[in-house]
Amino acid sequence: MKEAKGGSAKKASKASAKSQSTRKQASTVKPQSTAPEAPAASEPRSAPVVDREPKLPAGNGKLGIFGGPKDRGIKPDDKLALPTGPHGVYERVRSLNPKGFYCAMRWNYHVEHLTPEEVKRWWANKKLLVTNKKNGNAVVVRAVDYGPHENTGLDIGISPGAASSLEVEIGDEVDIALADPKDPLGPVS
């Protein structure tokens, strides 16, 4: 009985070695295991969620404030995650005008038939409508960055100028929607 198992193990080992040799270009050979072959490192265990088109990460949530020369939560040379500058340039976060109207969300970069770079370009400068649930004030902001970090519990980050127009503080609840591309940035009257 041990020979039968050993023979099966040898066949499995040979088959495993043959399939691995096509995937590996290593100069050293490691001893083969008789254990079942684990999935290759390049095969994901769970695929990322793939949408057919870019969607807003959240329709409402808690708000944060970021950007501008006084934002000390970032390094002076940190660049924006979206190519918002002329000719698809990645601007520096501290170059943002704090009185401007911009935002950051955790965009899903996994969209069917688009590369992550194409999705970033799709989101760059998209206009969003952010509404304060308490008083009904609304502003149109442009998408410029990725964030806030998941650990903060915040769903969207906006400029100090947009926060002032909304009359909100960090952690306040807001509604978020895509705005008409023709809408001007700033307070909605």
Which of 95-133 are b and which e, b meaning 16 or more Cβ less than 10 Å from the residue's Cβ? ebebebbbbbbbbbbebeebeeeebbebbbbbbbbbbbe
132-184 per-position pLDDT tens digit? 999 999 999 999 999 999 999 999 999 999 999 999 999 999 999 999 999 99
Residues 8 and 17: their CA atoms lie apart, in Å, by 14
88-113 per-position pLDDT tens digit? 889 888 888 999 999 999 999 989 88
What's the whole-number mean pLDDT along residues 66-76? 78
Q: Residue 157's pLDDT is what?
A: 96
Q: Residue 77's pLDDT is what?
A: 85
List the chain domain ranges.
Answer: 1-44, 60-187
- 3-state class percentages of the chain: helix first, strand second, coil last, to nearest 5: 25, 20, 55
Residues 154 and 39: their CA atoms lie apart, in Å, by 36
Half-sphere exposure of 51 (CA within 13 A, CB side): 11
Which residues, in sequence order, are CB contacts of 74 under 8 Å at separation 6+?
66, 93, 94
What's the whole-number mean pLDDT along residues 44-70? 78
Q: Residue 177's pLDDT is what?
A: 97
Q: Across all residues in the chain, what is the average pLDDT?
A: 79
Cα distances from 5 to residues 13, 118, 170, in angstroms, run 12, 52, 65
What's the whole-number mean pLDDT along residues 46-51? 58
Which tokens is 120 given? 């970033």
- Residue 57, judged by CB atoms within 10 A of its CB (0-12, 13-18, 19+), counts as middle
* Fold adopted by 60-187: Barwin-like endoglucanases (2.40.40)
Element (H, E) at 13: helix 2-23
